[in-house]
Amino acid sequence: MSYLFTSESVSEGHPDKIADQISDALLDYFLAFDKNSKVAAETLVTTGQVVLAGEINSKTYIDVQQVARDVINDIGYTKGEYRFSGDSCGVVSLIHEQSKEINQGVERESLEEQGAGDQGMMFGYATNETESYMPLALDISHKLMIELAKLRRENDEITYLRPDAKAQVTIEYSDDHKPIRIDTIVISTQHDEFDEDEAMLQKISDDLKNILIPRVRDSYEDKIKSLFNDEIKYHINPTGKFVIGGPHGDSGLTGRKIIVDTYGGKGAHGGGAFSGKDPSKVDRSAAYASRHIAKNMVAAGIADEVLVQVSYAIGVSEPTSIFINTTNKNIEMSDGEIAEKIKKIFDMRPGMIEKRLKLRNPIYRETSAYGHMGKESRKIKKVYKSDYSGEVTHEVDLFTWEELNYVEKLKKTFNI
């Protein structure tokens, strides 16, 4: 019997995502001027206020209040009627230094010996149901939010959009776990005031179905395009009016959208958030490394679906465990045997993950909305200006954990 599976995404203007983007922008600024910075930045946003907290050790000084304001304006909170704007909100910094007891467990004489910044388990996941090796329901949800933000910024075909939004997609799967059709799409978007509520609801529903949905559908290959049919159930702004949104409508916190950030509920999650943490925190770096393993394994044809778990003890460099779980394997080998070979190919010591994936660079603001996984790896130049430290330019590699640079080695190792 077929079954339904659902995932959601949120816009960059969602309160929790505002918090994530501020935390990662702070991280990027510190890494841009001091690559050895230790950062664990937390952000709270609410009506007219931003609170910055956490622990930072760095040789540089950053105007953290201005960084927060710039992020808020970039997202689109620039108008007084939103009750939250980068130019007028209060920004309070409660940031202090990292505990020396934690730092002594991480810092070592060599990169190879660097200890894990905390204990815990991290997961990576990949599936061959989309070209990005991401679960389909989440992939569509992210694309809905990305395109809606583009329409808001274009301010042409749809002129009333505000920054806060959410999407949810339900997919029907066959018994053998193949997508059959899109069952339901839910979209809630913040909007300007309308003169009549009923006309407003109809206008928003028509615009999203006739403008947004075709843009998202046309971004896919034919096999996924065919899943968009006339039988989809739509719930567009199902509560009705959505004028009050963003931090004025709901407070936001760093790290509260960890399922949106990863796999939409597919696979598993170890519980640790990503944003605001430098790569010595294995919550982040080991999750990226695990995704890198899982994606390359699926791309190599080892299995249709791969889940990777890795775990650590604080201050210890070697992982306490590496676990592999495959679905629809294409090789005659147990998951335990596969895991033993994977350990020899991918060095999962924290310092070596940092080196392999080039994580001590200002690459994190780009991860902080629309998912940390499934995006295209690419090189870009980023310029950072500071009244205290001058100006620096970095050419960085984004989303290195999405590179399919181990496929041939895996094929050779597993005789595929």
Most distant CA atoms of the chain, gap in Å: 67
Query: Strand, coil or helix: what is 320?
Result: coil
Spatial contact of 72 and 86, defined as CB atoms under 8 Å apart: yes
Query: 266 a known binding residue?
Result: no
Query: 387 a known binding residue?
Result: no
State how beta strands 252-253 and 233-236 pair. unpaired
Query: 42 a known binding residue?
Result: yes
Query: 378 a known binding residue?
Result: no
Query: 256 a known binding residue?
Result: yes
Exposed e or buried b for every residue in 163-181, given b needs 16+ CB within 10 A?
bbbbbbbbbebeeeeebee
Query: 14 a known binding residue?
Result: yes
Query: 16 a known binding residue?
Result: yes
Angle made by CA atoms 205, 211, 213, in degrees to the nearest 5: 80
The full DSSP string for 167-190 is EEEEEEE-TTS-EEEEEEEEEEEE
Query: 193 a known binding residue?
Result: no
Query: 69 a known binding residue?
Result: no
CA distances from 298 to 126, 342, 372, 410 (A): 7, 13, 18, 10
Place of tokens 């050895």: 36
Torsion, CA 201, CA 203, CA 204, CA 210, rounded to 10: 140
Query: 277 a known binding residue?
Result: yes
Residue 170: phi and psi, rounded to 5, are -115, 125
The full DSSP string for 259-298 is HHHTTTTSS---S---TTB-TTSHHHHHHHHHHHHHHHHH
Q: Which pairs from 379-387 meet CB under 8 Å and 24+ separation?
A: 382/28, 382/32, 384/28, 384/29, 384/32, 384/33, 386/29, 386/33, 386/60, 386/61, 386/62, 386/63, 387/63
Query: 257 a known binding residue?
Result: yes
Angle made by CA atoms 117, 399, 322, in degrees to the nearest 5: 45
d(CA 324, CA 347): 15
Query: 281 a known binding residue?
Result: yes
d(CA 124, CA 156): 39
> Taking the CA of residue 101 as centre, how many other CA atoms within 13 Å lie in the half-sphere pointing to its CB?
0
Query: 379 a known binding residue?
Result: no
Query: 242 a known binding residue?
Result: yes
Binding site feature residues: 14, 16, 42, 55, 98, 164-166, 241-242, 250, 256-257, 273, 277, 281
Binding site feature residues for Mg(2+): 16
Binding site feature residues for L-methionine: 55, 98, 250, 281
Binding site feature residues for K(+): 42
Binding site feature residues for ATP: 14, 164-166, 241-242, 250, 256-257, 273, 277
